[in-house]
Chain A
């Protein structure tokens, strides 16, 4: 079964700091790698996604770095804010079917 390993499981960052979440995948299809953000009591929502032929994508304070040779990608949140406190999921395109394989999630707490 395809796996995506996500770390850390939880993360506490001070306001204004940088939050970094890492993911590693096994085999994958050649398609977008998304990150989802989930607030308590809500469904996940697409935050940002990157194509595998690009090494970095930035949207505001959020940046995805992609290392195809190492089969790793990460999410960086610059100038972290208390409103960023949520659970973050990385995902990789499934090889066997049109689907996403999600990581186990990272619970981020940004302290004021």
Chain B
């Protein structure tokens, strides 16, 4: 089954404790992206990647890191989480040929930072 998987689905952590949210897709998509969803703000892009070893900032990259060492994986790293990073996070992938509009989203990771 074609899908984007994220782990963990739920995470409660404390300020400053480094964490990684994993994302994997099995559709051989070149494009991958991370979003955060907050009430009233919609989906805001954090980082994206056009291919292996190619990553770039989205609209809200501060406090986050990403890497793309393999085509299928695109982990999101919070080196020192803060309470304002409490949010619902989505990973998405897309074939480049579709111009990025046809995105396939994972199930989401709800992160709480206390």
Contact of A97 among B56, B90, B92, B106 (CB under 8 A): B56
Distance (whole angstroms) from the CB of A22 to the closest CB of chain B: 14
Find out whether the CB atom of A89 lies under 8 angstroms from the CB atom of B43. Answer: yes
Q: Which residues of B contact A36 (CB under 8 A)?
A: 103
Find out whether the CB atom of B31 lies under 8 angstroms from the CB atom of A6. Answer: no
Q: Which residues of A contact B35 (CB under 8 A)?
A: 102
Distance (whole angstroms) from the CB of B23 to the closest CB of chain A: 11
Find out whether the CB atom of B42 lies under 8 angstroms from the CB atom of A99. Answer: no
Interface residues of A in 77-112 (CB under 8 A from B): 89, 91, 93, 97-105
Find out whether the CB atom of A97 lies under 8 angstroms from the CB atom of B48. Answer: yes
Find out whether the CB atom of B42 lies under 8 angstroms from the CB atom of A43. Answer: no
Find out whether the CB atom of A91 lies under 8 angstroms from the CB atom of B101. Answer: yes
Q: Which residues of B contact A69 (CB under 8 A)?
A: none
How would residues 1 to 40 of chain B score, 1 for a CB under 8 Å from any chain A CB and 0 otherwise? 0001000000000000000000000000001010100001
- Counting contact residues on chain B (CB < 8 A from A), the size range is 20 to 34
Distance (whole angstroms) from the CB of A75 to the closest CB of chain B: 15
Query: Is B59 among interface residues, defined by CB-CB distance under 8 A?
Result: yes
Find out whether the CB atom of A99 lies under 8 angstroms from the CB atom of B41. Answer: no
Find out whether the CB atom of B103 lies under 8 angstroms from the CB atom of A100. Answer: yes
Q: Which residues of B contact A104 (CB under 8 A)?
A: 40-42
Distance (whole angstroms) from the CB of B30 to the closest CB of chain A: 10
A91 to B103, CA, bound (A): 11
Q: Which residues of A contact B50 (CB under 8 A)?
A: 98
Q: Which residues of A contact B40 (CB under 8 A)?
A: 9, 104-105
Distance (whole angstroms) from the CB of A76 to the closest CB of chain B: 20
Most chain B CB atoms below 10 A, which of A9, A89, A99: A99
Chain A residues within CB distance 8 Å of chain B: 1, 4, 6, 9, 31-34, 36, 41-46, 49, 89, 91, 93, 97-105
